[in-house]
A and B are shown apart, each in its own frame.
Chain A
């Protein structure tokens, strides 16, 4: 067992992405030297297109390192999700070079933990907060979101002394739609009986920076290389897993590795580091690009929304499309919104899809790796015994 097929891939498409932090660092450094603004972001609700249209470079600041947890706990309570603590720890220790470079950090009112952490962060960093309304199917809430994005556009114009024209927005939309499309196509390779890459490979093929031109070249290269690749002999015999729940930021890939080292293959990732933000594009060509951008982002099915029925619908579709044999949900410790929703996901998996469901609640510490492995393995035994 194990991810024996990653060696062959390493030489080709994934190799570039395994150096992605460095690639991004160079790109951001060059950009900054040339006068571009570095804009830190921490959530998939952040409308990258508006930042890009303002001449900004959007960089993800989500922390995946467990080394940052302890320092963060000197200020934050321990019972917060590790993603929040790690991100904050980086700021305290000034260890995230992208944050240190950032001219502005943009964040949204999502979960309580993040909001309150942002409040503290804004004392140390230049920040702008977008208010994200949370009634997902309410027209007034949506109007409010459009208004917030309009305000954001004006704020960036003043701050960065620039004009965010419709043309610039349309260009940014074009770039982001292209990036999303390429990543969707890569993800779709996992639909095959013997996918040419592992879920971990796919997870690694992402970027901290949205819209980096070299990324597009590499995504395209990867698509060509992987499509023509001989399928791995073992991938077909592995249990096909749909992984859902919280995102797995860079450095926090432990759970996907446990799954894939114990007989599973993560064929679909319904989370913010997987397919969730890629499912919908921004309509290009409408009269008001801000409204089109608002629509795409407002549809993101995160558990902070209520009601978040869209997520369940997506999950059902994805499980069928990717022929998942079981659902594994990852919940970061103390993530209340995803945890509450997990009951609904379980019910849907067991009753509507008729496949087993496993919830893994953990944080960034490796102390429970063995136990998680047993549960995952037992789940796979159940799947195979069916």
Chain B
């Protein structure tokens, strides 16, 4: 029997299929979010299933999570990305106490208790400056690809100081820096630092270790180091950081005795 977790994030859709016994990932996939969310998710699901040779009838339960979680009519139930993120992260990092998740349009810091249950969490509420969106804005401004900018930051000799608290205002600040001859590498490093600082200030006090870094932005070179500095903690990037929420959803689908099993129909 297979179990599926589907994470309908603000930018991408991710699906993870696990084997109910071993709880190992048997297949996974990601696709950019389109206008027809449900259709794209449907296509992706078919694709992910295809690799396993299984059919829909072999899938026991499907849990949807993420912003678009209510858009999928064929999911058995929905669970928030916070609970899923916690569950998925714990799989690879059972001792995790803090999860820093930075995605395309939102970021969150989740603290877990000793048993791995969600104790508290904060999310950025109304601003893009602590999210991957900020990196995108800068990449566009510098006319570089999103993959490229991280590697550029690694070459920076110093980080520019970006003081604007808002990603939109920071953009004009960056224009000014470029005009003043600041190397783009330093600007990217500055942006990474600024994102890390925003997320750390959102988290408030000192967070408990181990701190696990998830979300698409965890894959951007330089971010881990920027976060470590801002949080004054060691940071571990999760295994497959983009898939942790989808994995958590799949695990919740599989585990009847798990945290949220009561709500599964």
Contact = CB atoms under 8 A, between A and B. Distances in A.
Interface in B152-182: none
Given A381-B80, A381-B83, A374 B259 contact: no
The 5 A-B residue pairs with the shortest CB-CB distance, nearest first, are A378-B82, A385-B259, A378-B80, A381-B83, A382-B118
A71 interface: no
Nearest to A384: B262
Given A374-B81, A377-B80, A382 B117 contact: yes
A19 interface: no
30 contacts: A357-B120, A367-B126, A368-B125, A368-B126, A371-B106, A371-B123, A371-B125, A371-B126, A374-B67, A374-B81, A374-B82, A375-B121, A377-B80, A378-B81, A378-B82, A378-B83, A378-B118, A381-B79, A381-B82, A381-B83, A381-B118, A381-B259, A381-B263, A382-B83, A382-B118, A384-B260, A385-B117, A385-B118, A385-B259, A386-B117
Interface of B: 67, 79-83, 106, 117-121, 123, 125-126, 259-260, 262-263
Nearest to A381: B83
A358 B118 CA distance: 12
A44 to B, nearest CB: 28
Given A370-B67, A378-B118, A384 B123 contact: no
Contact of B119 (A356, A381, A384): A356
Given A370-B67, A377-B80, A386-B117, 6 more contacts: A368-B126, A374-B82, A378-B118, A381-B82, A381-B260, A381-B263
Interface string A171-191: 000000000000000000000
A285 interface: no
Interface string A350-386: 0000001100011000011011101101100110111
Nearest to A359: B122
Contacts of A375: 82, 121, 123
A356 B121 CA distance: 11
Contacts of B123: 371, 374-375
Nearest to A372: B125
Contacts of B263: 381, 384
Residue with the greatest number of chain B CB neighbours at <10 A, chosen from A370, A381, A384: A381
Nearest to B85: A378
Interface string A258-292: 00000000000000000000000000000000000
B135 to A, nearest CB: 21
Contacts of A374: 67, 80-82, 123
A374 B259 CA distance: 17
Contacts of A372: 125
Contacts of A368: 125-126
